[in-house]
């Protein structure tokens, strides 16, 4: 005689709620139905009992459609201190944990208005969730969280720690284009902030201006902010036009780095550059003054920088 089919003689319910979920808060009808299907599969011998607990847990976590989930803990109200507490088991420095808390807050606030959410795994990769919830999988570090969300929410996270405007955008962009481990990034944040503050004084950006004027401008900017060595390597690289070659030679003359570099440039480029050298020197001088002046002198020095660019355009004939 065969044993009776278990569901025909007994009703079995599975119950699991994530830490942080209020005991008086009902799970959705769909969630209960999904758990019921898992139990039915187990009772019907189509699911191994060794995976039933994990399957129920995953089904319930996947059904949550609000808030934030960190290491299977649910955070319904986005209080920063609660998020930090939930991140206490995630690897990372205090600074990484604090910044991860801010970036998660920004992400959840945005995701809550969407139809789908996202999941962050232990490799710093993002996958979709079918509900508008953010989930951090167990094993993901604070660095993984920051890596996954930096491109979309890094600026908001920086604003949360008091870094705004051009300064924040420059710090975000630098980390986005050439990522460093976030522990290293945070250690260098003070110097990055100082560099960004100085860079924000310029009224023009690298790559913004075209032609020979743009080439000289970019070399001046890079030489002032990143060092003459880097700018010199750019100036002596292969040029795709005589104007760019002439612009590069004009900059080398203006900053006194032309000795021994003649072989990179043909005679026509060097001759053309001679007429541009004085205006290039003025632009270098204006840039140096802009970086070294007191805060109350910045408006005046910005105007001097703009005037120097305008004069350079006239000398080159790119008005």
Distance CA 258, CA 280 (A): 14
The whole-number average pLDDT for the span 138-157 is: 95
Q: Tell me the CA distances in angstroms from 118 to 109, 142, 148, 166, 254, one per residue in order.
A: 13, 16, 10, 29, 53
171 within 8 A of 193, measured Cβ to Cβ: yes
Query: What number of residues does the chain have?
Result: 319
Across the range 215-223, mean pLDDT stands at 95
Give 234-248 pLDDT, tens digit per residue.
Answer: 999 988 889 999 999
Average pLDDT of 61-90?
90
Residue 242 in tokens: 């005589």
pLDDT, residue 232, reads: 93
The reported pLDDT for the residue numbered 32 is 72
Cβ contact 110:165 at 8 Å: no
Confidence at residue 243, expressed as pLDDT on a 0 to 100 scale: 92
> What does the mean pLDDT of the chain come to?
87
**Rounded to 5 degrees, what angle do the CA atoms 219, 220, 223 make?**
80
Confidence tier at 1 by pLDDT (50, 70, 90): very low
Lowest mean pLDDT among 3-7, 159-163, 214-218: 3-7
274 vs 34, higher pLDDT: 274
DSSP state of 9: T
Least confident of 39-53, 56-70, 187-201, 206-220: 39-53
pLDDT at position 81:
92
Q: Report pLDDT for 84.
A: 93
Q: How many CB atoms lie within 10 A of CB 282?
A: 19
pLDDT at 97 over 90: yes
**Residue 230, token pair as written in the block:** 């880097």
Q: Is residue 310 over pLDDT 90?
A: yes
Mean of pLDDT values over 288-294: 93
Residue among 279, 221, 225, 271 at smallest CA distance from 245:
271
Q: Are 212 and 243 in contact (CB under 8 A)?
A: yes
pLDDT in tens, 41-58: 666 666 666 567 787 788
Give yes or no for residue 220 having a pLDDT over 50: yes
Encode pLDDT of 103-121 as tens digits: 999 999 998 888 899 999 9
pLDDT of 120-133, one tens digit each?
999 889 999 998 99
Query: 3-class DSSP state for residue 103?
Result: helix
- ∠ CA 308-312-317 to the nearest 5 degrees? 150
Q: Mean pLDDT check: name the lowest of 57-71, 143-157, 238-252.
A: 57-71
Q: Residue 261 above 80 pLDDT?
A: yes
Q: What is the mean pLDDT of residues 223-233?
A: 92
Q: Percentage of residues in the chain with pLDDT exceeding 70? A: 90
d(CA 157, CA 104): 8
């Amino acid at each position: 005689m065969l044993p009776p089919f278990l569901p025909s003689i007994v009703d079995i319910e599975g119950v699991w709620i994530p830490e942080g979920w209020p005991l008086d808060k009902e799970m959705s009808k769909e969630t209960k139905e999904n758990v019921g299907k898992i139990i039915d599969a187990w009772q019907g011998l189509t699911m191994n009992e060794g995976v039933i607990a994990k399957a129920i847990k995953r089904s319930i976590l996947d059904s949550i459609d609000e808030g934030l989930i960190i290491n299977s803990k649910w955070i319904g109200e986005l209080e920063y201190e609660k998020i930090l507490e939930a991140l206490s088991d995630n690897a990372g420095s205090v600074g990484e944990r604090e910044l991860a808390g801010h970036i998660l807050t920004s992400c959840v606030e945005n995701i809550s208005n969407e139809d789908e959410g996202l999941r962050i795994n232990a490799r710093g990769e993002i996958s979709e969730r079918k509900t508008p919830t953010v989930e951090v999988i167990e094993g993901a570090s604070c660095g993984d969280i920051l890596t996954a969300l930096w491109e979309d929410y890094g600026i908001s996270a920086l604003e949360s720690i008091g870094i705004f405007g051009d300064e924040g955008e420059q710090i975000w962009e630098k980390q986005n284009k050439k990522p460093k481990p976030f522990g290293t990034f945070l250690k260098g944040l003070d110097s990055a902030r100082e560099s960004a503050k100085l860079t924000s004084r310029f009224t023009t950006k690298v790559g913004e201006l075209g032609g020979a004027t743009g080439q000289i401008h970019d070399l001046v900017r890079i030489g002032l902010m990143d060092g003459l060595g880097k700018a010199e390597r750019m100036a002596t690289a292969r040029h795709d036009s005589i104007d760019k070659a002439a612009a590069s030679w004009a900059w080398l003359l203006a900053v006194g780095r032309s000795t021994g570099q003649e072989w990179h440039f043909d005679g026509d480029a060097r001759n053309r550059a001679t007429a541009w050298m004085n205006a290039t020197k003025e632009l270098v001088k204006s840039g140096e003054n802009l970086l070294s002046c007191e805060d109350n002198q910045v408006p005046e020095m910005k105007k001097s920088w703009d005037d120097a660019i305008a004069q350079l355009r006239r000398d080159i004939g790119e008005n």
